Amino acid sequence: MMTHSDDKTPPSSIAIIGAGGLGREIRSLVERENVFAGYHDDQEIDKDYLGNIAQINPTQSIEYIIAIGNPSLKKAIAEQLYQKSLTYANIVSKNTVVSEMYFKGQGIIICDGVIATVDYNIGSHVLLNLNVTIGHDVTVRDYCSIMPGANISGNVTIGEATLIGAGAVILQGVTIGANVRVGAGAVVTKDIPDNITVVGIPAKPL
């Protein structure tokens, strides 16, 4: 389900998987328009703790969101929970310029200040953090995390479980592989293969 401050639908009850810093940030986003049901995490926390991740038992009354920035860990948790057939919410701040018609997955988190233009595709369990920009004809595949202030130009493809660091710039027409780490502030000017880390201006393998 898409949950957005402009919706007229009744509020959803949403549990957050992951109680770290990002989980606490996403809680504040959830609580603007929905009911926060509690955290699932492998470490017991405060009174809002619902139990560890392996013990999640899906119910019709609760939707879920995986609020974990590390793409590989996020993917592993989603795969661990696959057989449980959870219902995942899409959480979208009202302070954005995005269109749900371009969402191709579930469990998407769109934070304040995100601007996306046209004909983009956002996969499942993607995080677009604060003030990210997405150009035309961009594809962001499942489990990616794009950190605050990153700028993605048009005709870019970002492979599964890739992390784009804060303030990074991806130039027009670039293809980034799966399981890639793009360092904070890097400028990516050419294609990047799978499974490497790149940093710098222009971005080069670490």
pLDDT more than 90, % of the chain: 85
Q: Is 153 helix (H, G, I), strand (E, B) or coil?
A: coil
pLDDT of 154 > 70? The answer is yes
pLDDT of 75 > 80? The answer is yes
Instruction: Check if 125 is active-site.
Output: no
Question: DSSP characters for 40-107?
Answer: E-SS--STTEEE-GGG----TT-EEEE--S-HHHHHHHHHHTGGG-PPBPEEE-SSSB--GGGB-SSS
Q: What is the pLDDT of residue 5?
A: 45
Burial class (CB in 10 A: 0-12, 13-18, 19+), 46: exposed
Q: What is the mean pLDDT of residues 168-197?
A: 98
Structure tokens given for 198: 């790149």
Element (DSSP H or E) covering residue 30? helix 21-30
In angstroms, the CA 175 to CA 79 distance is 25
Classify domain 2-90 by CATH architecture.
3-Layer(aba) Sandwich (3.40)
Q: What is the pLDDT of residue 182?
A: 98
Catalytic residue selected from 4, 40, 125, 136: 136
N-terminal to C-terminal alpha carbon distance within the chain? 39
pLDDT of 206 > 60? The answer is yes
Q: What is the band of 9 on the pLDDT scale with cuts at 50, 70, 90?
A: low
Q: How far is CA 179 from the centre of its chain?
A: 15
